């Protein structure tokens, strides 16, 4: 099938490469000429497993990159809109990129087109796209609009796309439903997974995805409700972590205890310094704004956001108390990305913690396996950058763990102790067992667990204050 994907961001680029991998003829379009030039020169733009391989495999044959949207539309039967929908100042999704893309598509229509809405959008965007198509000169019979949200996670985006839990297709046209099913056939009948050079199926992937055909409104709600629910799980466990800390309980055991109930599940129940990234913060705000505009009471979402904001503040307060004073302290920060497996620093809790500490006159030396270049573009020379984790901690007053990269969970603790000026580790991602930290002679402060204080415990009054904050 001939497919145009509009937008070369995370979702657009991964979707384009994966549709090519499924055998379709894809034009990936963006109005940023520099991006297109970089992609044509072989730069995959984002750090994502398998993406460079897929682009190499299909570029120039089944996958082309172009800034000529009208031409891509004319050549294609299916046009996927995957442009950004950032939050505006009121927290609502800014749909101006979707509107611009729709207008340009409408002006180029030369026969029947299926327009697929893949950007994360509020309910009723499908209807707005239809209206904009007609306002811009298209006959209703020239197109169908389908809502087909994407559920990929950064870091595992390619395997999430190729081995999805579910594919949701929202539309009322029989013709469009037939075309969408054909688009995804290799994933639905399992033929893709059987190809000799297929991207390997992850162990936890389902055998066969759920394929749900529904109304556009339902499909749009499914996307926002999924992200809001996952964010709610994270805020829930973070709130319980605060209680665990105050009560002297252990949040990791609490998580195991509640997560082993199949109705609850272990996933997205890791306590930490709060969720970040380009999706959850924006989507919780947008969903809240939609609920308000529908006249529905959904203040639960306000709490989800509030707990998330507080979680970061609590961690900064913990750092402050553990260090006694912050001015001039030199801290090693492991992690800049908003989560492991990505170089994305948008809404990164790690960057937010660092910025708070810079305001308190701390000096930071940071290391991240993937996100250093992107962090440099934001933080510049306000911090120092180390070539590896151990170089970052050389003579530091304390070590901060801010992103859950695997390599940060297997540090040589004897070396850590030797390199740090003081034996203090503040772990915002609970990567270590407190017992091993105690055995290594490190004072260890994590989330929702009793601190380990083997060397020079904090004065008892400070400890009491910590528990009441
Ligand atoms: C999220 C969703 O997981 C995807 O399903 C969705 O498609 C995507 O948004 C989107 O709408 O495009 P992503 O933003 O890549 O994916 O990241 P997640 O893996 O969901 O993590 C989000 C944040 O939550 C990270 O900061 C992570 O560290 C944090 N997190 C995650 C926790 O603090 N605890 C957990 O247990 C899980």
Task: Please say if the pLDDT value at position 463 is more than 70.
Answer: no
Tokens 């940071």 — which residue? Answer: 366
Q: From ligand 1's centre to the CA of 93, what distance in Å?
A: 18
18 in active site: no
pLDDT score at 438: 96
**Ligand 1 mutation pick, 83, 279, 347, max ligand atoms within 8 A of CB:** 279
CA distance 426 to 114: 51
157 Cα nearest atom in ligand 1: 15
Tell me the per-residue pLDDT of 162-217, one tens digit each, with 9 for 90 and over. 999 999 999 999 999 999 999 999 999 999 999 999 999 999 999 999 999 999 99
> What percent of the chain clears pLDDT 90, i.e. is strictly above it?
94
151 Cα nearest atom in ligand 1: 7
**Backbone phi and psi for residue 35, each to the nearest 5 degrees, phi listed first:** -60, -45
339 Cα nearest atom in ligand 1: 28
Decide: 280 in ligand 1 pocket, CB within 6 A.
yes
Determine contact, residues 333/365, Cβ cutoff 8 Å.
Answer: yes
Q: From ligand 1's centre to the CA of 454, what distance in Å?
A: 35
- Reduce the DSSP state of residue 94 to 3 states and report it: coil
Decide: 279 in ligand 1 pocket, CB within 6 A.
yes
pLDDT-derived band at 466 (thresholds 50, 70, 90) equals low
Residues 6+ apart with CB under 8 A from 62: 20, 23, 24, 25, 26
CA distance 20 to 2: 10
Task: Please say if the pLDDT value at position 304 is more than 90.
Answer: yes
Question: Which residue has a Cα nearest atom 3 of ligand 1?
Answer: 153
**Backbone phi and psi for residue 127, each to the nearest 5 degrees, phi listed first:** -65, -35
CA distance 177 to 380: 49
Q: Could you tell me the two tokens for 144?
A: 């169908």
pLDDT score at 341: 93
pLDDT score at 462: 60
Task: Please say if the pLDDT value at position 265 is more than 70.
Answer: yes
Decide: 54 in ligand 1 pocket, CB within 6 A.
no
Q: Which of 279, 294, 296, 362 is catalytic?
A: 279
CA distance 426 to 402: 9
Q: From ligand 1's centre to the CA of 382, what distance in Å?
A: 28
Question: Which residue has a Cα nearest atom 35 of ligand 1?
Answer: 268
Query: How many Cα atoms within 13 Å fall on the side-chain side of residue 442?
Result: 29
Decide: 339 in ligand 1 pocket, CB within 6 A.
yes
pLDDT-derived band at 465 (thresholds 50, 70, 90) equals low
429 Cα nearest atom in ligand 1: 33
Determine contact, residues 317/244, Cβ cutoff 8 Å.
Answer: no
Question: Which residue has a Cα nearest atom 16 of ligand 1?
Answer: 153
Decide: 429 in ligand 1 pocket, CB within 6 A.
no
Q: From ligand 1's centre to the CA of 339, what distance in Å?
A: 8
Rounded to two decimals, what is the model's pTM? 0.94
Question: Which residue has a Cα nearest atom 17 of ligand 1?
Answer: 153
Question: Which residue has a Cα nearest atom 7 of ligand 1?
Answer: 151
C-alpha 316: how far from chain center: 22
Q: Could you tell me the two tokens for 130?
A: 């239809």
- Reduce the DSSP state of residue 459 to 3 states and report it: coil
11 Cα nearest atom in ligand 1: 12
Task: Please say if the pLDDT value at position 251 is more than 90.
Answer: yes
Tell me the per-residue pLDDT of 379-409, one tens digit each, with 9 for 90 and over. 999 999 999 999 999 999 999 999 999 999 9
């Amino acid at each position: 099938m001939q497919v145009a994907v509009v937008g070369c961001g995370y979702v657009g680029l991964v979707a384009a490469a994966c549709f090519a991998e499924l055998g379709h003829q894809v034009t990936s379009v963006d109005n940023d000429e520099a991006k297109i030039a970089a992609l044509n020169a072989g730069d995959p733009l984002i750090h994502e497993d398998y993406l460079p391989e897929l682009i190499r495999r299909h570029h120039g044959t089944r996958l082309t990159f172009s800034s000529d949207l009208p031409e891509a539309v004319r050549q294609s039967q299916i046009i996927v809109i995957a442009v950004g929908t950032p939050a505006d100042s009121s927290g609502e999704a800014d749909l101006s990129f979707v509107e611009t893309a729709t207008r340009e598509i409408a002006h180029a229509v030369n026969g029947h087109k299926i327009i697929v809405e893949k950007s994360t959008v509020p309910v009723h965007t499908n209807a707005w796209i239809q209206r904009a198509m007609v306002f811009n000169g298209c006959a209703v019979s020239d197109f169908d609009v389908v809502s087909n949200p994407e559920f990929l996670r950064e870091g595992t985006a390619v395997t999430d796309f190729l081995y999805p839990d579910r594919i949701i297709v929202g539309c009322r046209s029989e013709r469009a439903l037939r075309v969408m099913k054909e688009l995804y056939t290799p994933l639905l009948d399992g033929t893709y997974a059987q190809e000799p050079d297929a991207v390997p199926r992850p162990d936890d992937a389902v055998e066969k995805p759920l394929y749900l055909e529904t109304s556009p409104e339902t499909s749009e709600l499914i996307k926002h409700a999924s992200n809001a629910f996952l964010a709610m799980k994270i805020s829930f466990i973070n709130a319980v972590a605060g209680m665990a800390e105050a009560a002297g309980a252990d949040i990791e055991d609490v998580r195991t205890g509640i997560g082993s109930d199949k109705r609850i599940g272990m996933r997205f129940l890791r306590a930490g310094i709060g969720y970040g990234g380009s999706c959850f913060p924006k989507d919780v705000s947008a969903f809240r704004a939609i609920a308000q505009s529908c006249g529905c009471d959904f203040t639960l979402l306000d709490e989800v956001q509030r707990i998330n904001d507080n979680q970061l503040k609590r961690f900064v307060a913990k750092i402050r108390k553990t260090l006694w004073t912050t001015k001039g302290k030199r801290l090693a920060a492991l992690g800049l990305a908003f989560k492991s497996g990505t170089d994305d620093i948008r809404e990164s809790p790690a960057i937010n913690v660092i910025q708070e500490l810079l305001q308190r006159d701390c000096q930071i030396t940071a290391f991240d396996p993937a996100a250093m270049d992107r962090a440099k573009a934001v933080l510049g020379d306000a911090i120092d950058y180390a070539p590896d984790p151990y170089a970052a901690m050389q003579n530091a007053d304390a070590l901060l763990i801010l992103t859950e990269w695997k390599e940060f969970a297997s540090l040589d603790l004897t070396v850590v102790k030797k390199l740090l000026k003081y034996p203090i580790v503040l772990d915002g991602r609970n990567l270590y067992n407190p017992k091993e930290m105690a055995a290594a002679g490190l004072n260890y402060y994590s989330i929702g667990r009793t601190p380990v204080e083997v060397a020079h415990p904090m004065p008892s009054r400070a400890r009491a204050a910590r528990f009441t904050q």
